[in-house]
C-alpha cells in the first residue's frame, strides 16, 4: 500500500542555519511514529511541513488525496469566551463531520478524556486539561493522520495513560514529537531521530524505544569503525602526497583525486560526529545537618477542599523525593509549603537554620526582553561557579549556547532553551534542598539524560514534581503519592503508586452519588447506532485483536527461551512486555464489546 505522506529530499533553513537537509520521510496506514532529536533539529518544523502549513525550501511532499490531518501544537491556547463544547463543535464543523453524529461523538470523546462539564471555559482549566482539550479537538476531526508536538507536556500521569490508550487503539496514523521515553516504549511502532550525526540526516528504526536504542548503538559503533578506518587511510594518502608522486600518469592522478575525496568525506564525518551535550552540575553546600525539613501532620485546604492531610515526612541529605498525583492534587502547593511561601492549614513545617533552598518554577518566568548574556551573567561578563571565575561565553557554551547568540533576547528562545537558562541560574546557587517543578518539559532526551546524572550526583536533598515516569523511577528514592482527595501515601516506585492511584479512583467512583443521566451530555452516548467513525473502527477491530494476540503469544514464547530465562534483566524486560501486550488485548476486547452492544 502506498504511503499517506511521502516527503522526499526536503530541506529547511531559517536564517543561515539549516535545520535539516535532503531528508526523506514517509507515513503509512497504522504507523505510530515517535519523532525525537536534539532541541533545534527541526522536529516541530518537520511536523508542520508534513501537514502543509510550512513549505520546504527544496524537495517534494506528496499527500494522498482527501487525507484529513489533525495537528496538536506544543502550546494549547484557546480564544477567550469559548467553552469546551463550542471548541469541539467548531472542530467538527471545520472537519465536516455529519450533523447527526456530532452530539454523540462529542459526548463520547470528551467523556473518554475525563470531561464532565462541557460549558467550562478553557481559561479556567489547568495546563494539563487544556492539553487534553487540544487533543480531543484533534480527535473529533476523524483524522487519517494525527500529528502531535510534545503531547505529554503539562499532562499529569493519568492524562498520559489516557493518551497512551488513545494512540494504541485509534484508527489513524500518528507522528508524535515526544521526549517521554515510556510513551515511546509503549506506543511507538517506529522511532525516527532527526540528527545531523546520521548520514541521511535521520535514523529510522522499526520497533519501540528499546529497539531504537540498540539500533542507534549499532549504527554509532559502525560509524566509529568507519571513522577510524577512513582516518588511517587518509593519513596514509597524505603521507604519500607529501612525498610527491614522481610519476604523473593516469594512476597517480586517480590516486590524488581519490585521496581528495577521502579527505572531504573524513571532514564531513568529523563535522557530523561533533555533538554538543549540556553540562549540568548542581552545587550542594555539603551541609552536615541530618535533618533539613520536617513535616509533622501537615494539612493544606484550598476553597474548603483538603488537598492533602496527615503528611509526616523527614527530609534528609541524599533523599530524592518524587511527587505524583493528578493535576490539582497539590504537588506545586506542597513545594511552596516546603519553600515557606505559604503556611499549612494544620500541622508544622520545620526547617534547619539558614537552610538554602533553590526552586525551579514550572512557569519559567524570564524577562523576554533581557539578552541571553544578561540572563546568564546579570552583573558582569563572567560568573562565579564553585569558587572559579568563568567567562559568560564559556558558561553559555556549557549549556549549548554559541557566543553569537549571547545578544539574542530571551523571548526568541525555545522552551527547551529557556529551561537550560533557568538550570544555569540554579547551578550558581549552592543548595541544601532542590525543589524542581516540572524541569523536564521541552528538554530533549540527551539533555534529560545529563540532567538525570547530575541529580543523581547531587549530595543535598531533592523534591521533584515531574510527569516523566522514566525520570521518576530512575531518580526517586521515595515517591509521595497524592490522590487529589486529601490522601497521601509513600511508595518505593512509580508502579506501586500507580496501583494505589487506581484503587483511590475506584473508591471515589463507588462512593460518588448517582447522577441523573438525563441531565448529562453522556446520556446521548448510550444505546445508539454506530457513528461513521465507530463503524470504521468496528470493521477492523477483529483484525487488530488478532494482531495483538499474535504479539502476546510471541512475547510469551520468548519467555520459554533458556537464554532469557537465565538472564535476570532480560527476563524482567520480557515480563513487562507481556504485561503491556496483555493490557492492549484487554483494551481491544473491551472496546469490541462496547461497539457490539451499541450496534445491537
Note the pLDDT tens digit of each residue in 29-59. 999 999 998 877 889 999 999 999 999 999 9
Residues 500, 544: one domain? Answer: no
Residue with cell 526547617: 351
Residue 512 domain flag: no
Mean pLDDT of 362-385: 85
E-state strands within 415-476: 433-437, 461-465
Q: In b/e form, how buried is each residue of 241-261, taking b as 16+ CB within 10 angstroms?
A: eeeeeeeeeeeeeeeeeebee
308: CATH: 3.40.50.300
Residue 342 domain flag: yes
Residue 270 domain flag: no
Please provide residue 366's backbone torsions phi and psi, each rounded to the nearest 5 degrees: -130, 140
Residues 481, 556: one domain? Answer: no
* Count of domains observed in the chain: 3
Residue 253 domain flag: no
Distances (CA, A) of 417 to 177, 236, 433: 17, 43, 24
Residues 501, 542: one domain? Answer: no
Q: Taking a C-beta distance cutoff of 8 angstroms, is the pair 36, 178 a contact?
A: yes
Q: Taking a C-beta distance cutoff of 8 angstroms, is the pair 198, 219 a contact?
A: yes
User: 315 is in which domain, residue-wise?
Assistant: 293-506
Which residue in 320, 251, 309, 346 sits closest to 484, CA to CA?
Answer: 309
Residue 581 domain flag: yes
Q: Which of 151, 186, 213 is the last residue of a domain?
A: 213
Element housing 474 (H / E): helix 469-475
pLDDT (tens digit per residue) in 432-491: 999 998 888 777 887 888 888 888 888 899 999 988 888 888 899 999 999 888 999 999
Cα(564)–Cα(579) distance, integer angstroms: 16
Quote the pLDDT of residue 574.
74
Cα(78)–Cα(75) distance, integer angstroms: 10
Quote the pLDDT of residue 363.
67
Cα(400)–Cα(393) distance, integer angstroms: 10
Confidence band, pLDDT 50/70/90 cuts, at residue 97? confident
Residue predicted with more confidence, 375 or 543: 375
What cell numbers appear for 311 in the block? 503528611
Residues 6+ apart with CB under 8 A from 120: 83, 84
Q: Taking a C-beta distance cutoff of 8 angstroms, is the pair 422, 398 a contact?
A: no
Residues 336, 367: one domain? Answer: yes
For the chain, the residue count is 600
Residues 468, 545: one domain? Answer: no
Residues 176, 318: one domain? Answer: no
Residue 243 domain flag: no
Residues 471, 579: one domain? Answer: no
Q: Taking a C-beta distance cutoff of 8 angstroms, is the pair 297, 447 a contact?
A: no
pTM over 0.75: no
Amino acid at each position: 500500500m502506498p504511503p499517506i505522506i511521502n516527503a522526499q529530499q526536503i530541506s529547511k533553513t531559517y536564517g543561515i542555519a539549516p535545520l535539516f537537509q535532503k531528508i526523506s520521510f514517509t507515513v503509512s496506514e497504522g504507523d505510530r511514529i515517535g519523532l525525537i532529536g536534539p532541541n533545534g533539529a527541526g522536529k516541530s518544523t518537520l511536523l508542520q511541513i508534513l501537514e502543509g502549513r510550512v513549505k520546504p525550501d527544496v524537495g517534494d511532499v506528496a499527500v494522498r488525496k482527501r487525507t484529513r490531518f489533525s495537528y496538536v501544537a506544543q502550546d494549547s491556547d484557546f480564544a477567550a469566551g469559548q467553552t469546551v463544547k463550542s471548541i469541539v463543535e467548531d472542530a467538527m464543523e471545520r472537519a465536516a463531520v455529519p450533523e447527526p453524529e456530532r452530539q454523540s461523538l462529542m459526548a463520547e470523546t470528551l467523556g473518554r478524556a475525563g470531561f464532565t462539564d462541557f460549558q467550562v471555559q478553557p481559561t479556567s482549566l489547568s495546563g494539563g486539561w487544556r492539553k487534553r482539550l487540544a487533543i480531543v479537538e484533534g480527535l473529533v476531526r476523524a483524522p487519517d493522520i494525527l500529528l502531535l508536538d510534545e503531547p505529554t507536556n503539562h499532562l499529569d500521569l493519568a492524562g498520559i495513560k489516557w493518551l497512551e490508550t488513545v494512540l494504541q487503539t485509534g484508527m489513524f496514523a500518528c507522528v508524535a514529537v515526544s521526549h517521554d521515553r515510556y510513551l515511546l516504549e509503549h506506543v511507538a511502532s517506529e522511532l525516527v531521530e532527526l540528527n545531523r550525526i546520521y548520514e541521511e540526516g535521520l535514523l529510522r528504526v522499526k520497533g519501540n524505544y528499546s529497539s531504537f536504542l540498540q539500533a542507534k548503538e549499532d549504527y554509532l559503533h559502525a560509524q566509529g569503525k568507519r571513522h577510524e578506518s577512513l582516518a588511517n587511510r587518509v593519513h596514509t594518502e597524505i603521507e604519500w602526497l607529501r612525498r610527491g608522486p614522481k610519476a604523473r600518469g593516469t594512476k597517480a592522478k586517480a590516486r590524488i583525486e581519490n585521496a581528495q575525496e577521502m579527505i572531504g568525506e573524513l571532514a564531513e564525518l568529523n563535522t557530523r560526529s561533533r555533538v554538543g551535550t549540556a553540562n549540568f552540575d548542581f552545587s550542594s553546600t555539603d551541609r552536615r545537618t541530618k535533618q533539613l525539613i520536617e513535616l509533622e501532620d501537615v494539612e493544606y485546604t484550598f476553597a474548603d477542599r483538603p488537598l492533602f492531610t496527615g503528611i509526616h515526612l523527614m527530609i534528609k541529605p541524599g533523599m530524592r523525593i518524587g511527587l505524583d498525583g493528578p493535576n490539582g492534587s497539590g504537588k506545586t502547593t506542597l513545594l511552596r509549603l516546603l519553600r515557606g511561601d505559604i503556611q499549612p492549614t494544620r500541622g508544622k513545617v520545620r526547617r534547619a537554620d539558614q537552610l538554602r533552598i533553590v526552586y525551579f518554577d514550572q512557569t519559567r518566568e524570564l524577562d523576554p526582553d533581557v539578552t541571553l548574556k544578561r540572563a546568564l551573567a546579570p552583573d558582569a561578563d563572567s560568573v562565579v561557579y564553585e569558587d572559579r571565575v568563568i567567562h559568560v561565553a564559556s558558561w553559555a557554551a556549557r549549556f549549548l549556547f554559541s557566543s553569537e547568540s549571547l545578544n539574542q533576547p530571551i523571548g526568541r528562545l525555545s522552551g527547551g532553551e529557556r529551561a537550560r537558562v533557568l538550570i544555569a541560574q540554579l547551578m550558581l546557587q549552592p543548595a541544601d534542598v532542590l525543589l524542581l517543578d516540572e524541569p523536564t518539559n521541552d528538554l530533549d532526551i540527551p539533555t534529560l539524560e545529563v540532567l538525570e546524572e547530575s541529580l543523581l550526583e547531587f549530595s543535598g536533598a531533592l523534591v521533584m514534581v515531574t510527569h516523566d515516569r522514566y525520570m521518576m523511577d530512575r531518580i526517586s528514592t521515595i515517591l509521595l503519592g497524592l490522590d487529589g482527595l486529601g490522601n497521601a501515601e509513600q511508595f518505593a516506585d512509580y508502579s506501586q503508586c500507580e496501583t494505589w492511584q487506581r484503587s483511590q479512583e475506584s473508591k471515589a467512583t463507588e462512593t460518588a452519588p448517582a447522577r441523573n443521566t438525563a441531565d448529562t451530555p453522556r446520556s446521548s452516548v448510550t444505546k445508539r447506532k454506530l457513528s461513521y467513525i465507530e463503524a470504521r473502527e468496528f470493521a477492523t477491530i477483529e483484525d487488530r485483536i488478532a494482531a495483538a494476540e499474535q504479539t502476546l503469544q510471541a512475547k510469551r514464547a520468548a519467555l520459554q527461551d533458556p537464554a532469557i530465562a537465565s538472564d535476570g534483566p532480560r527476563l524482567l524486560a520480557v515480563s513487562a512486555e507481556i504485561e503491556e501486550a496483555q493490557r492492549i488485548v484487554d483494551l481491544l476486547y473491551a472496546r469490541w464489546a462496547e461497539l457490539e452492544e451499541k450496534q445491537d
